Amino acid sequence: VQKEKAKSDVCVFSADMRKSQLREQELKEGLALALQNREFHLVYQPVIDNQTNEVSFCEVLIRWELDGVLIPPQEFIPIAEQYGFIHEIGEWVLMKACVESSNWIFDDKVDISVNVSVPQLLRNDFVDIVKAALVNSGFPATSLHLEITESVFANNADVMFARIAELQSLGIKVSVDDFGTGFSSLSQLQKMSADIVKIDRSFIASMDEGGQAIIQATQYMAKQLGYSVVAEGVETKEQADELSDIGVNCSQGYYFSYPMTIDELSQWYEDFKQGKLNDPL
Ligand code: C2E
Ligand code: MG
Ligand code: MG
Ligand code: MG
């Protein structure tokens, strides 16, 4: 019986593997055509300054609609990275975000924050690509943030630190995304000298079960190093109030707003400025 069970486990496992291989193949083929088929669009999520209650910046998030179904970025971004599509896609995201935002945000001085994958940052022409997006759109470098996950520290740390410094010299702000989940250490934060730390939403979700200690420690350390701190995944008023009490600079999450298209964002922003959204939920 033991033997039979072991055998059937093996079969289930390989069937799952086969399934995920097929899925990967399907997404890989889809990604090769997605740009030319115009299947991507961008959504924007406001990040609120806890002290002034104003919009500090908006995070830009990619959406892929394949045959009428939205594929989550968590699923396709890793595949795009693995097969090299991320470079073209990332360039498109930068350009599109700068152009769309120039049309409305520009006057209000709300920054936008674009996610960048590690392979993009590793390419020698990355800074040129960013510069081209800025020049071609007329979007100001000083209103652009780039978000980089803390896995940048895993390899090529020195190349990464140099590139980050180069971007900052243009006036761009650099954020460390998903802080607390990966390889980063406090000393690496000091070495890379970025501008913003985004605390991963898992710590906000677990604020009552120990997450608060991590948030407080990160907040304390970030302040010493001159970083500003953003909490991700804020879903309730209680979380928002507590984060504000801790001294976290900004909060982002469904409590304030879901990610929206640029047109929805414009409308939301008008309502927000008129104080119509004081109690978002
Ligand atoms: P991220 O950069 O950490 O982005 C935040 C994610 O949390 C987004 O998921 C957002 O929709 C979600 N979120 C925001 N508020 C809440 C909340 O209150 N509760 C919960 N449960 N979730 C919340 P999304 O859009 O699915 O993106 C997932 C990840 O995919 C991003 O995580 C980022 O790593 C990556 N990604 C998204 N767009 C791009 C892109 O244009 N380029 C690259 N390289 N990566 C991207
Ligand atoms: Mg991000
Ligand atoms: Mg994040
Ligand atoms: Mg995250």
**Which pLDDT value is given to residue 93?**
98
- Asked if residue 111 lies in contact with residue 145, where contact means CB atoms within 8 angstroms, the answer is yes
Which ligand 1 atom lies nearest to the CA of residue 73?
Answer: 30
Q: What is the pLDDT of residue 278?
A: 58
Instruction: Name the closest-CA residue to atom 45, ligand 1.
Output: 115
Q: What is the pLDDT of residues 111-133, one digit of tens each?
A: 999 999 999 999 999 999 999 99
The ligand 1 atom nearest the CA atom of 81: 44
Please name which of 198, 203, 201 lies closest in space to residue 174, comparing C-alpha atoms.
198
Q: Taking a C-beta distance cutoff of 8 angstroms, is the pair 168, 136 a contact?
A: no
Q: What percent of the chain has pLDDT over 70?
A: 91
Q: Three-class SS of residue 229?
A: strand
| DSSP, res 47 | E
* Whether the CB of 251 sits within 6 Å of ligand 1: no
CA distance 265 to 263: 5
Rounded to 5 degrees, what angle do the CA atoms 14, 24, 76 make? Answer: 135
d(CA 266, CA 269): 5
Q: Which ligand is nearest to the CA of 77?
A: 1
Token pair of 55, please?
A: 């919009």
Residue 107 Cα distances to 50, 69, 130, 139, 142, angstroms: 22, 35, 21, 11, 13
Cα of 200 from ligand 4 centre, angstroms: 5
* Single-letter amino acid, residue 25: Q
CA of 26 to the centre of ligand 3 (A): 27
Answer whether 204's CB lies under 8 Å from 216's CB.
Answer: no
40-93 per-position pLDDT tens digit: 999 999 999 999 999 999 999 999 999 999 999 999 999 999 999 999 999 999
Nearest-5° angle of CA 113, CA 255, CA 250? 45
Q: What are phi and psi of 83, to 5 degrees?
A: -100, 10
Task: Calculate the average pLDDT of the chain.
Answer: 90
Q: Does any ligand 1 atom lie closer than 6 A to the CB of residue 235?
A: yes
